[in-house]
Structure 1
Amino acid sequence: MLRIILLQLVAMVVAACIAGLLGGVSALWSALLGGMCCFIPNGLFALRLYTSTRKPGGANPMTFLFGEFIKIATTLALMGAVVWLYRGVNWLAFVLSFIVVLKSYLILLFRHRP
């Protein structure tokens, strides 16, 4: 799980750098904020699952379902906060960065191990 979260962090930084080069400072901040709207909830979800697996008896399905609900609610709350607090959002950079971070785990799925 830690590798996926670290990969999402790297994907967020790379997407923000590319957005900054192509669209300026507003695009850079928008891409960072879009990536964080995905990265932070996923990190909290992974932390919750990790701590629940360390408990006696391990994780149960309700832990996963409740964590997934919290992850979705946190994502929506962060997106709402960005829209409300940052008026200069570059929507293309914001949405594309969110999608890049959201789908970055596919890189690990197609990675070959000897």
Structure 2
Amino acid sequence: MNSTMYRAIILQFGAALITAIGAGAIVGTRGLVSVGLAALACILPNLFFAVRLTMVTNRPDASFAANFFIGEFLKIAATIGFLAIAVKGYPEMHWPSLLIGFAIVLHAGFIAFWKKP
């Protein structure tokens, strides 16, 4: 499962790169930065979550289910926090680019679960 999680993060990064380039070509720098911030708000919490689950998997005394739900809660909270920081810290935000970029990056990870390695 962990290799699939890391593959999902790589796919999210690829989708973010393509979407940011597209937004940059259509909207300009504002679009590129907006997609980049949305991608960071999505990818970083997922990466931390994957690392946390990898560490828990290697510990025999840890409850995987409890750590999964705690990690998922922290991931969602971190995503909301990163988005709030991005909106506050970048006043020139292009909202359509942010929302479209966030949706594309968030859903790109599901492609990794379609095919087994």
Matches within 5 A, 1:63-102: 63-102=67-106
Q: Which amino acid in 2 is paired with 1:104?
A: A
CA offset digits 1:60-95 (Å, max 9, x no partner): 211011001100110111011011110000000101
Q: Number of paired residues?
A: 113
2:8–2:111 Cα contact (<8 Å) kept: no
Query: Normalization by structure 1: what TM-score?
Result: 0.91
Q: Report the Cα offset of residue 111 of structure 1.
A: 4.3
Q: Which residue of 1 aligns with 2:30?
A: 26
Matches within 5 A, 1:99-114: 99-111=103-115
Aligned-partner Cα distance in 2 for 1:59–1:53: 9
For structure 2, the 5+ residue unaligned runs are none
* Change in CA separation of 1:59 and 1:8 when aligned onto 2, cut-off 3 Å: farther
Which stretches of structure 1, 4 residues or longer, exceed 3 Å deviation after superposition? 109-113
The percent identity for this pair of structures is 33
* Change in CA separation of 1:112 and 1:60 when aligned onto 2, cut-off 3 Å: closer
2:12–2:43 Cα contact (<8 Å) kept: yes
Q: CA RMSD in A?
A: 1.6
2:12–2:108 Cα contact (<8 Å) kept: yes
For structure 1, the 5+ residue unaligned runs are none
Query: Normalization by structure 2: what TM-score?
Result: 0.89
* Change in CA separation of 1:86 and 1:63 when aligned onto 2, cut-off 3 Å: same
